[in-house]
Chains A and B, each alone.
Chain A
């Protein structure tokens, strides 16, 4: 039994935080109200001034298992999630072997049950070994609970293959997540084509390489009557393309934006800092502004980190040789607070809606909410405290993040899932 006193409760439905006590009994929220009586044997936590919110859900993470356990494992990845206030994740299938069959998916899910304290879901490949040629074992994966199909890391390049996959899998209630990039246009996939690519002398990846596939995949989904989810949008015109398609209303399209695309530009790469090397690449301030606008407006249904761990050894190479991607789970919620909620660019309701409720809806899961009768799946966030992202602080096996050794406003103090307290600071 746990009584959280005087918490400020965040919900997706209200910009105003509701101040109340919350009583959790046997992993369920039993009562919410002012000045609740302290039941006998209850542990009381003074949550005054702190925000109580549902656990976040990240629909785009790379846990690198199987195959790249030197970068991340299901255990370290899920602990990084808990560290950041995230209580559920969806893995991407670009592992080795790729998750393109029921057998591969079953192994991962069994592993996750044993090795993770939070639910770990996975997506499955569209095509075998993500090669873009033969369809993966789609229905077999669905039987195990896979809802989302993606060749993430790459686009399913042949539109005919993707269309056929959409026609086939839509029958089973599955949907498609698209990594949008024309490889022939994207160049070395290192940074945005712009002022910075000229200055650093690296052939840039033009935003149109991404925008073309955003448009193409939505058109394919429309033709197939499928649902397409556009991943990690980085460009203004990409956002506007999705907005236009959504306004037509004749195709089911959802989209996500990653925190780093909202916060950083290609200028941050500075002196070839590989912690800012990701795909799609960081673009310009105008793109950041447009993405923020799209998030506030609801063009983006969800925030997802694209948590992409790489070893220090790999990231310490020169800029061109280093792999793309940054970790995001340990830092996401605090950085969103620091950059946007605290400066009042958006409210807690948006964070809860876009980073907790909508991703769960996308995956067909029950939404976590701080409401009577719900399972306790929540966290306490101290808005006055600070977090310093030292190597010791972070639980991800890799620390390829621009936030390394930075101090940001806000701190995740407590994470509760059912009867378990997963984290307490």
Chain B
């Protein structure tokens, strides 16, 4: 069941997901110990290759790797001249020569971690590629949900916001569906792709979505840095139409729904300030769980492993009826 790389959720089998979530539970127990470090990856090297700015994911991986006793190196992308594809190829050759064991990569271009994985013996972990996938975020989301709903089958998660640019929405919805969770999208028409999987419900207004009775409302971050093109008139209007306003929070509290958000939060846009103090907000749980999930992933992968390449999307699609529905 071992793999060399973790590039996406789409190709993960249910047993692999269950295994990783179980392992995450064990690693989380470590956090209560006075010594949180174990020697699992002693002598191994983890290279952090972040082409896009990141605080949470980057530090979460770094902490996870260090708790497993791995040596962590940060590739200083900001101070190198690397920005685009051809330089990435040269970088890959350099990395291969360095014989690093793990490469944790984040890049603005979809598919780039896969390209690196094909050309290195290191285990490559996709820490977010374009609007494609963010598998460890999905795993920590699922882990967080499972802490509240140990058997999540039949539960409903409403994902609200910018689906178009969101790798979180893609990965998390795929993973939740593999666990038997129902998923729906709600967002501005300009930010929800016309072609989404048939298995995902799509709502066009908040009230209708709430009438669907979700158990969790998952708010996506409005990615201001992508707003060079105007997808909605202004953030005030966004907050009113798609955000958790004070009035909506009251209803959510009444219904006892959980709120999640991958962070960082734009206060006053996706949600009002009061959400941060809401007793059923799982936002900090998500951050905490990120570490144990990433420890489980690092521990699981096998650098230098000679495994068959992950199935292509076409193959996955053909087999999807058996994979997606539990």
Contact = CB atoms under 8 A, between A and B. Distances in A.
A198 B86 contact: no
B148 interface: no
B111 interface: yes
9 contacts: A193-B193, A194-B195, A198-B193, A198-B195, A200-B313, A202-B130, A268-B314, A270-B313, A318-B107
B167 interface: yes
Interface string A315-327: 0111111100000
Interface string B302-315: 00000000101111
A140 to B, nearest CB: 38
The A contact surface, by secondary structure, is: loop
Contacts of A271: 111, 114, 310, 312-313
- Kindly name the residue among A199, A316, A319 whose own CB sees the greatest number of chain B CB atoms within 10 A: A199
B312 A270 contact: yes
Interface in A188-211: 193-204
A267 B316 CA distance: 11
B110 A200 contact: yes
Contacts of A272: 110-111, 114-115
A318 B89 CA distance: 9
B86 A197 contact: no
Interface of A: 193-204, 267-272, 313-314, 316-322
Interface in B106-155: 107, 109-112, 114-115, 129-133
Contacts of B109: 318-321
B78 interface: no
Nearest to A313: B86
B249 interface: no
B130 A201 contact: yes
- Residue of A202, A204, A271, A314 with highest tally of chain B CB at under 10 A: A271
Interface in B275-326: 310, 312-315, 317
B132 A201 contact: yes
Contacts, number: 84
A318 B85 contact: yes
Given A197-B193, A318-B88, A321-B85, A202 B110 contact: yes
B29 interface: no
Contacts of B98: none
A283 B111 CA distance: 20
B85 A322 contact: yes
Contacts of A196: 313
Contact of B111 (A193, A268, A319): A319
B164 interface: yes
A318 B111 contact: yes
A201 B314 contact: no
B85 A317 contact: yes
Contacts of A313: 86
B178 interface: no
B194 A201 contact: no
Contacts of B107: 318
Nearest to B196: A198
A217 B313 CA distance: 37
Contacts of B112: 318
B84 A199 contact: no
A272 B111 CA distance: 6
B260 to A, nearest CB: 20
Nearest to B129: A201
Nearest to A270: B312
A321 B315 CA distance: 25
A201 B167 contact: yes
A335 to B, nearest CB: 19
Contacts of A319: 109-111
Contact of B84 (A193, A267, A321): A321
B186 interface: no
